[in-house]
Amino acid sequence: MASLTQDIELLFNQLELVKQRPITDILDRIQNKDGTFHKRYPSGWKIKNSNDTLLPTGINKGGVYVFWWLNNSNESLEPFNWKMCSRKYTLQGKKISGQSGSDDYHQVEIEISDSWLEMYKGHIPLYVGKSADNILKRMSLHLQINQSKYRRKSTSDQLRRGIERLFMQHPNTADLIVNHVGYSFINLHGKDEVVNRFYLEDYAIGKLMPLFNIDIER
């Protein structure tokens, strides 16, 4: 039976101590013999097979994970100042009341200001999430790394949609992810850890304040 069985603050401290890994740790470069890219992988990248021995231990189990914009050098944050980077994007809010038969919703504009980015000391948290039984599978849905540009929408692609919102004019956002995004995680696997995962995810969102976890009340 699932219950709250662990100290959530202690779990968060453990998550904070995990070293961020480059996203290329879980990717393979893929192209045809003539150097062109396969039609299924126009970005030239794919997620490693789940049985790849080079994958981090535990990534095929459940737990809580964080995507980061890695800030390892003076040049790491330059893309946020590119002309093709829009620091503003719009989220759909509550339905507008008083308009019978209308499907119009409030549109809430979010601006990622310089002072907001400067608040982070080091790597910038992008998204915190959880998986019951396979972190790698969940992360692959977030990344959609086989696509150079991603224009779809689902309930599992928040990281990639966040990157696309900021860099809508960039011709290959997969390259941005490969060059700048990292990840970390801790394991909390299976149904018995469901309560601990739930509270750790929420706690980590509140403490880290990741850019792409923002949700609008409905």
What total number of domains does the chain contain?
A: 1
Residue 28: CA atoms inside 13 Å, Cβ hemisphere, count?
A: 12
Q: Residue 166 and residue 79: Cα distance in Å, rounded?
A: 10
**Does residue 78 fall inside a structural domain?**
yes
**Does residue 217 fall inside a structural domain?**
no
The pLDDT tens digits along the chain (218 residues) read 889 999 999 999 999 999 999 999 999 998 887 777 788 899 999 999 999 999 999 999 999 999 999 999 989 999 999 999 999 888 888 888 766 556 788 888 999 999 999 999 899 999 999 999 999 999 999 999 999 999 888 888 999 999 999 999 999 999 999 999 999 999 999 999 999 999 999 999 999 999 999 988 76
Confidence (pLDDT) at 131: 98
**Does residue 1 fall inside a structural domain?**
no
**Does residue 148 fall inside a structural domain?**
yes
**Does residue 95 fall inside a structural domain?**
yes
> Structural domain of residue 93, as residue ranges?
8-208
In the numeric block, the tokens 């944050």 are attached to 77
Q: Which amino acid is at 206?
A: G
Confidence (pLDDT) at 102: 61
**Does residue 53 fall inside a structural domain?**
yes
Q: Residue 85 and residue 172: Cα distance in Å, rounded?
A: 13
**Does residue 214 fall inside a structural domain?**
no
**Does residue 218 fall inside a structural domain?**
no
In the numeric block, the tokens 């304040």 are attached to 209
Gap between the terminal Cα atoms of the chain: 32
Residue 129: Cβ within 10 Å count: 25
